[in-house]
């Protein structure tokens, strides 16, 4: 069976809370993170569920079922069991992993910050997309920041340094930084200049620190209507990825398993992605969280044969 894959990019237009529902730390509702690397991510199951509803009215029902699977199991004598027309959905949605996040900057308001590790993981997922730059060299010693030019809006031209949150970092010019920014600009052309001006690559240790300390944490309460004060035990904190964060993932597809809609793997991906879409992802949607742009690259998807 031939499989095809295509990378996709998420841009958070509002704070994004894809949580775990539990906490062992000081934040009551933390965001989901990968176990080994602590990198924030949005589960592919969440994205697929949102896509399923977003595409329900935009593509014919047989094709919709081919992409996402049947709406429910048929009822049988032993309870719910597959019927003769039940099948697996042809679309596979991978997790969206953090690629870059906005961090407050003393110059230029904020920087869009990533690291060599995050870019190396992205380079693996972007296999098949033309123009992906090579590997960034890692500098030994003190923490550092790479920028495409000293004219970058986040760089202090007097001291030739960059100030992110409470970090003071030495700046080095690296042409590959702009090359990376241009890759993401092709998927999100409307934010091209904005992205290129603010794109900064810091060392992996600094990025690990920022992934812990530069997320958005909001304190929320529930008011007791009888007293007009905070209800007992109803004070909690929620963590979110800040607006303008970028996340990268991969979608895969097989030819349709549904006989009424014989789609190829390429057709499955095209109907699922449909150019750029605005989706509501994660939790806390009623307080404005999770408004995101889902975009991809115009190039043909990579085909992987098994």
| Confidence at 72, pLDDT banded by 50, 70, 90 | low
Identify the pLDDT of residue 216: 94
Note the Cα 119 to chain centre separation in Å: 13
Identify the pLDDT of residue 301: 47
Identify the pLDDT of residue 145: 94
DSSP helix/strand/coil, 231: strand
Number of other residues whose CB lies within 10 A of the CB of residue 38 = 11
CB contact at 8 A, 248 and 99: yes
CB contact at 8 A, 183 and 129: yes
Instruction: List the one residue out of 71, 27, 81 whose CA is nearest residue 49.
Output: 71
pLDDT at residue 82 tops 80: no
pLDDT at residue 305 tops 70: no
pLDDT in tens, 5-58: 999 999 999 999 998 877 767 888 899 999 999 999 999 999 999 999 999 989
Tokens of 124: 């693996």
Identify the pLDDT of residue 85: 59
Number of other residues whose CB lies within 10 A of the CB of residue 208 = 16
| Confidence at 302, pLDDT banded by 50, 70, 90 | very low
Strand partners, 293: 11, 278
Instruction: List the one residue out of 84, 152, 86, 147 whose CA is nearest residue 114.
Output: 147
Burial class (CB in 10 A: 0-12, 13-18, 19+), 243: middle
Distance CA 186, CA 63 (A): 29
Residue 53 to residues 50, 101, 255, 279, 280, Cα–Cα distance (Å): 5, 28, 21, 10, 11
Q: What is the DSSP letter of 143?
A: -
pLDDT at residue 300 tops 70: no
CB contact at 8 A, 280 and 291: yes
Identify the pLDDT of residue 129: 92
Q: Considering the chain, what is the average pLDDT of its residues?
A: 88
pLDDT in tens, 248-278: 999 999 999 888 889 999 999 999 998 889 9
What does the pLDDT average to over 202-214? 95
pLDDT in tens, 209-250: 999 999 999 998 888 888 887 888 788 899 999 999 999 999
pLDDT in tens, 94-147: 999 999 999 999 999 999 999 999 999 999 999 889 999 998 877 777 898 999
Instruction: List the one residue out of 291, 293, 255, 277 whose CA is nearest residue 1.
Output: 255
Distance CA 273, CA 251 (A): 9
pLDDT in tens, 150-169: 989 999 988 889 999 999 99
């Amino acid at each position: 069976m031939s499989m095809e894959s295509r990378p996709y990019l998420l841009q958070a237009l509002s704070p994004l809370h894809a949580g775990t529902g539990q906490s062992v730390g000081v934040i009551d509702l933390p965001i989901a993170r990968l176990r080994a690397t602590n990198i924030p991510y949005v589960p592919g199951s969440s994205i697929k569920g949102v896509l399923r509803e977003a595409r329900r009215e935009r593509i014919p029902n047989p094709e919709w079922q081919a992409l996402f699977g049947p709406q429910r199991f048929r009822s049988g004598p032993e309870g719910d069991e597959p019927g003769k027309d039940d099948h697996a959905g042809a679309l596979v949605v991978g997790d969206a992993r953090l690629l870059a996040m906005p961090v407050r900057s003393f110059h230029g308001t904020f920087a869009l910050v990533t690291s060599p590790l995050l870019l190396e993981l992205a380079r693996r997922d972007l296999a098949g997309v033309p123009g992906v730059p090579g590997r960034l060299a890692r500098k030994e010693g003190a923490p550092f920041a790479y920028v495409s030019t000293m004219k970058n809006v986040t760089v202090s031209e007097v001291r030739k340094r960059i100030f992110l949150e409470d970090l003071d970092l030495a700046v080095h010019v690296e042409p590959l930084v702009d090359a990376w920014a241009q890759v993401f600009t092709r998927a999100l052309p409307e934010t091209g200049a904005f992205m290129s001006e603010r794109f900064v690559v810091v060392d992996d240790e600094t990025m690990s620190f920022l992934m812990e300390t530069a997320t958005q944490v909001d304190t929320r309460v529930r008011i007791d209507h009888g007293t007009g004060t905070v209800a007992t035990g109803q004070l909690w904190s929620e963590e979110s990825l800040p607006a303008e964060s970028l996340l990268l993932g991969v979608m895969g597809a097989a030819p349709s398993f549904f006989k009424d809609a014989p789609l190829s793997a390429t057709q499955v991906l095209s109907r699922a992605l449909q150019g750029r879409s605005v989706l509501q992802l994660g939790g806390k949607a009623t307080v404005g969280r999770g408004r995101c742009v889902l975009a991809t690259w115009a190039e043909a998807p990579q085909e992987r044969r098994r």
